[in-house]
Structure 1
Amino acid sequence: MAAPARNDYEEEFEDDAEVEEVEEHDDGVEGRADGAENEEEEEEEEEEAQPWTGLSRLPERSELVELLKEVAGAGRKQLTVLLLGKSSVGKSSLVNSLLGEAVVRVQAFKLQADTEMTTSVVRQVAVGDPEVDGLRLKIIDTCGLEDPEAGDTVNWGSLSKIAEDIRGVPIDVVLYVDRLDLYRVDPLDRAIIAAISQTFGRQIWSRTILALTHANLTQPPPGTTYDSFVDGRIRLLRGAFPRGPVPFLRRPLPAALVENSDTCPVSASSGARVLPDDSEWVVGLMGEVVDLALARRSPYKYHPRMTTRSSSRFRWMLPVVVVAELLFYQRIVRPALESGQRRVVAEDDNLWAMRRQQRKALGLHPPHRPGSEAAWRLEQMYDDD
């Protein structure tokens, strides 16, 4: 499966992270020592992987093995996927559907104090094929990112805990999970997307796929077809994510449809789970995951320095910009303002001269022209009215 081409939008996010890493190493000997100590603390211990027994029970087994062979063939030993999104969108159910095992407890709301913010599941492929056996699949499920007890706002505490839990963990792909059967992107959706950008850095979106659950829409809204409704929903969601420096050149976020329900139709020939457009959604989603994972030079690793902040790459240009603004004001703006002021005064003088001539022709005394202070007071009176 061909890997998607890189683009300027994705490279900008990765360049930001690389520049920030360089700046971290320029903070002096003490900073470097602290950084080395932190790296030791962040070094991830390899988690024990259990055999992926559910793979053999999946009707899409053969297609998934071929996709995983591409990952193993690229020299990867592990494929790590992080799930993010609101509650009740189907993140945990998606984990179970992909693995073919009920490994994660499904809850309507993962916001209770006794609920873990992240749940990691590691499975190792063992299908009797040396090309793929030993490859590990790690899926990190997370709690909902909204806080309904505070009035449907972002749950910053949960977001911070998730960031702490995945600190230093190499993430190959992020699945931003939402529902297909919705009709709008509300302010809470936009707030959560902005909070993710602020917490993890905007470069996380270059590793993100939109995973839209509840995709078995047997009856799309009146006046639409299944395909047109899907396209419209994806377009609305994509518009809520941050844009790159050249929006019309950036590659939109890839999207995949998901149906976790047991009522999802299956193919009569293969038994694979299919959507109303006859596409096999498990194969389609994993295909997008593998494509995106292989297209990246290196996995995403969260570090607090990635938190959104003013870019320092061009701070050396600040004095140049200030001088340029000053010169622009002195050479262009100020002369234009002074010229305009002189023109207004000249037109005012001509107006009063015309009035004097008119009153003189009528045999009246010259008009009384108010002074500058009186004129200002009259202006204020008219402005107040």
Structure 2
Amino acid sequence: MISSRTRAGFTLNVIDTPGLVEAGCVNDQALDTIRKFILNRPVDAVLYVDRLDGYRVDSLDRQIMTALARMFGVVLWKIALLVLTHGQIAPPDGTSYPEFVSKRTEALQQAIQQAAKFKKSDPQVPTIVVENSARCATNDDGEKVLPDKTIWLTNLVGNVVEVVTREKSSRYTIDERQIKGSNGSWWYKLMTVPLFLFQVKAVYPLIRSQVFADIDKDDEDE
């Protein structure tokens, strides 16, 4: 689903993607639908949304991150922001709110770094905590604030603008060649095993017999 808003000559298009998980597995069909939907549509920023109140990064999380890198290329993570929802959560006893956010962020950042094959010197994906429920606290101006007093909407918009406008950032675009190339790569993978078996069953015996024939001929010449 795509929503558009125009204000002061500026148009903001937001694409809300379908869920990436179905029956406990990565939904490749959903990923393919997203890829075809954004065909030739420039993408300036990607919001990867997870929950702040998750207590670990499991194998499914890693599979999703790897699938995104595989389907869209690691460049997608270059324009991504990590958005953590349920920001109003009270951390466990003995843990401060900043410590809780930092621990959760660090675990997800490490998983993203592995999936995107980032170097240690590469900048981390910006992290923003949000809370849009009615129970979210507000300041005197009516703006929703997190337990650490951060105005999360301002923080979110500011980070998105920074990703879009930073010097080394470039718009992400997927074209028809990439889609065909991906399909071709899957065809190549499917054909690898039959080709290998053909080589073992047919080509290798021919080469082997020719080698031994040459050896026998050399022995006769001697």
- The one-letter code matched in structure 2 to 1:265 is A
- The one-letter code matched in structure 1 to 2:5 is R
Within the candidate set 17, 29, 32, 1:142 is matched to: 17
Q: CA deviation at 1:297?
A: 4.5
Q: Which consecutive unaligned segments of at least 5 residues does structure 1 have?
A: 1-118, 126-132, 310-385
Q: Is the 8 A contact 2:79 2:169 kept in 1?
A: no
Q: CA deviation at 1:224?
A: 0.9
Q: Which residue of 2 aligns with 1:273?
A: 144
Q: CA deviation at 1:221?
A: 1.0
Cα deviations by residue, 1:256-286 (Å, 9 ceiling, x for unpaired): 0110211111102x11110000010000000
Q: Is the 8 A contact 2:163 2:169 kept in 1?
A: no
Q: Which residue of 1 aligns with 2:203?
A: none
Q: Which residue of 2 aligns with 1:234?
A: 105
Cα deviations by residue, 1:183-213 (Å, 9 ceiling, x for unpaired): 0011111111111111001110000000000
Corresponding pairs, count? 179
Cα distance in 1 for residues equivalent to 2:63 and 2:119: 21
Within the candidate set 53, 59, 78, 1:181 is matched to: 53
Q: Which residue of 2 aligns with 1:251?
A: 123
Cα deviations by residue, 1:236-274 (Å, 9 ceiling, x for unpaired): 001111457773311111100110211111102x11110
Q: Which residue of 2 aligns with 1:164?
A: 36
- SS class of match (1:210): strand
- SS class of match (1:241): helix
- The one-letter code matched in structure 2 to 1:282 is L
Q: Which residue of 1 aligns with 2:200?
A: none
Cα distance in 2 for residues equivalent to 1:281 and 1:157: 33
- SS class of match (1:137): strand
Cα distance in 2 for residues equivalent to 1:288 and 1:294: 10
Q: CA deviation at 1:301?
A: 0.5
Verify: 1:204 aligned to 2:76, yes or no.
yes
Cα distance in 1 for residues equivalent to 2:80 and 2:55: 22
Cα distance in 2 for residues equivalent to 1:250 and 1:142: 27
Cα deviations by residue, 1:304-343 (Å, 9 ceiling, x for unpaired): 528787xxxxxxxxxxxxxxxxxxxxxxxxxxxxxxxxxx
Cα distance in 2 for residues equivalent to 1:246 and 1:155: 24
Scaled by the length of structure 1, the TM-score of the pair is: 0.45
Cα distance in 1 for residues equivalent to 2:123 and 2:12: 27
Q: Which residue of 2 aligns with 1:123?
A: 5
Q: Which residue of 2 aligns with 1:285?
A: 156
Q: CA deviation at 1:287?
A: 0.4
Cα distance in 1 for residues equivalent to 2:112 and 2:169: 22
Structure 1 runs (4+) greater than 4 angstroms displaced: 243-246, 306-309
Within the candidate set 70, 77, 96, 1:225 is matched to: 96
Cα distance in 2 for residues equivalent to 1:215 and 1:237: 16
Q: Of the two, which has the highest radius of gyration?
A: 1
- SS class of match (1:248): coil
- SS class of match (2:161): helix
- SS class of match (1:163): helix
Cα distance in 2 for residues equivalent to 1:276 and 1:242: 28
- The one-letter code matched in structure 2 to 1:156 is D
Q: CA deviation at 1:170?
A: 0.6
- SS class of match (2:104): helix
Please tell me the root mean square deviation across aligned C-alpha atoms, in Å: 1.8
Q: Which consecutive unaligned segments of at least 5 residues does structure 2 have?
A: 186-222
Identity across matched positions, percent: 37
- The one-letter code matched in structure 2 to 1:193 is M
Q: Is the 8 A contact 2:62 2:111 kept in 1?
A: yes
Cα deviations by residue, 1:3-23 (Å, 9 ceiling, x for unpaired): xxxxxxxxxxxxxxxxxxxxx
